[in-house]
Amino acid sequence: MQKEKKDIILNAIASTVKRLRGTKSQYLLGGEYDIPSSVLSELERGLKDPQLTTLFKLAGSFNMTISQFMIELEKDLPENFMIFDD
């Protein structure tokens, strides 16, 4: 995967998590859903590529299924974003 495309994805994850977290602190969200606040901080700064289990935990923390979370994530990606070019 090209670094540029990976950065786009990481920044979209960052924006999505920040948007969905709202005013709840990283510490409280992480404590309630077994996600270290350091991981949340790195995710929200676009520095960490989350594990799949972390994405499931995040989805659950926002009362969403993983597919609902991915739909929210797509809103923060460029229109018609594809990881590979044709």
Q: Could you tell me the residue ranges of all domains in the chain?
A: 3-75
DSSP state of 78: P
**CB contact at 8 A, 69 and 58:** yes
Q: What's the chain's average pLDDT?
A: 94
**Inter-axis angle of helices 66-75 and 3-21, to 10 degrees?**
110
Query: Are the beta carbons of 57 and 34 closer than 8 angstroms?
Result: yes
Length in residues, the chain: 86
User: What per-residue confidence (pLDDT) applies to 86?
Assistant: 66
Nearest to 3 by CA among 34, 45, 46, 37: 46
Q: What are 12-49's pLDDT values in tens digits?
A: 999 999 999 999 999 999 999 999 999 999 999 999 99
Superfamily of the domain at 3-75: lambda repressor-like DNA-binding domains (1.10.260.40)
pLDDT of amino acid 1: 59
* CA proximity to 25, closest of 15, 7, 37, 38: 37
Name the pLDDT band for 83 (thresholds 50, 70, 90): confident
